Amino acid sequence: MPTMRDRFMNVSGALLDERPDLAIVLADIGFGYFAGAGVVARHPGRVLNVGIREQLLIGFAAGLAMEGFRPIVHTYAPFLVERPFEQVKLDFGHQGLGAVFVSVGASYDAAAAGRTHQAPEDVALMSTLPGWRVHVPGHPDEVEAVLRSTVADRGLDYIRLAESVNPQAVPSSGGLMPIRRGSARAATVIAVGPSLAPVLEATADLDATVLYASTVRPFEGETLRTLLGAPEVVLVEPYLAGTSSAEVSAALKDAPHRLLALGVARQEHRRYGSRWEHDRAHGLDAAGIRRSVTDFLASAA
């Protein structure tokens, strides 16, 4: 199956053909693809490579946005969000400008590359900034849908691509999508992006309502509030554990509930290997999620 990144690059290249106000801004990473696919040759001025200069990547893109361009800004997550975070905060939000940021690498897709190329904190950081919508697609089809919709808008969008994908896409509603309905007394499990596949496997024989989110900011809490059965809520996010806990609490502020927030642990995990091994280490594979969920539900009994 083509990866999310493949789809992003194909679609953004096609969008450049359609939209004269669109520009792709890069810091080396990804430029080879756009050159190889002929996109640079077709639009030499609108695939802009600033070199390995990530502060400039953001500021330069903001300058384009200031003059009416809709920039798509792309690089590895730690170099897009963490290294130039003040530029993200001031050059876009504070200036009142819009952009589509697209990251690759997710929490630890580059597991063997070590900590420098891992960014489990990206969604938490972006969530501190007002106005940003944060998208965590779980399938290449979802990437195309969210890319097309955000490019057509003028706001602030962060799209987080990952190598882990779900077998099937979920049509986006912009909010929480019920994937499986449990009984009236079922616990609720919220799966974000690529977490859906292991969540469905982990809860296959449990009485649980499974909700899916591919857009986590803003967090759509009404569906959760409406479908809440038992007070037990499990939040499974493929990045820093608890990133959306406050949003769940706000959605259920008048409903007694207990929350288990699963995700990437806060301590640094000094291991290389593969993303699957890191999923296992953080309890985010199907077996780990099942273990956490069943323990949590048993503690409620």
Q: Which residues bind other proteins (CB under 8 A)?
A: 23, 45-46, 48, 50-51, 53, 55-56, 58-69, 86-87, 90-91, 94-96
The Cα–Cα gap between 17 and 167 comes to 30
Please report, in angstroms and rounded to a whole number, the separation of the first and last CA atoms in the chain: 42
Judge contact between 30 and 9, C-beta under 8 A.
yes
Q: For the CB of residue 117, give the shortest distance to other proteins in the complex, in Å.
A: 21
* Of residues 64 and 186, the one with the C-beta less far from other proteins: 64
| Residue 57 C-beta-side C-alpha neighbours within 13 Å | 30
Beta carbon nearer to other proteins, 25 or 264: 25
The gap from C-alpha 20 to its chain's centroid, in whole angstroms, comes to 27
Of the pair 94, 115, the CB lying nearest other proteins is at 94
- Closest by CA to 162, choosing from 204, 116, 111, is 111
Find out whether 68 and 21 touch, Cβ atoms under 8 Å.
Answer: yes
- What's the min distance (Å) between Cβ of 86 and other proteins? 6
Nearer to other proteins, 56 or 179 (CB): 56
Task: Report the residue number, 54 or 285, with the smaller CB distance to other proteins.
Answer: 54
Shortest CB 134 distance to other proteins, Å: 23
Provide, rounded to whole angstroms, the least separation between the CB of residue 48 and other proteins: 7
Q: Which is nearer to other proteins, 70 or 135 (by Cβ)? A: 70
* Residue 237 CB, nearest approach to other proteins (Å): 31
- Smallest distance from other proteins to CB 219, Å: 27
We find the least distance from the C-beta atom of residue 78 to other proteins, in angstroms, to be 17
CB closer to other proteins out of 68 and 130: 68
| Structure tokens belonging to residue 34 | 């756009």
Nearer to other proteins, 99 or 176 (CB): 99
Question: Least Å distance between CB 32 and other proteins?
Answer: 18
* Distance of alpha carbon 240 from alpha carbon 244, whole angstroms: 9
Positive or negative: CA dihedral 228, 233, 236, 241: positive
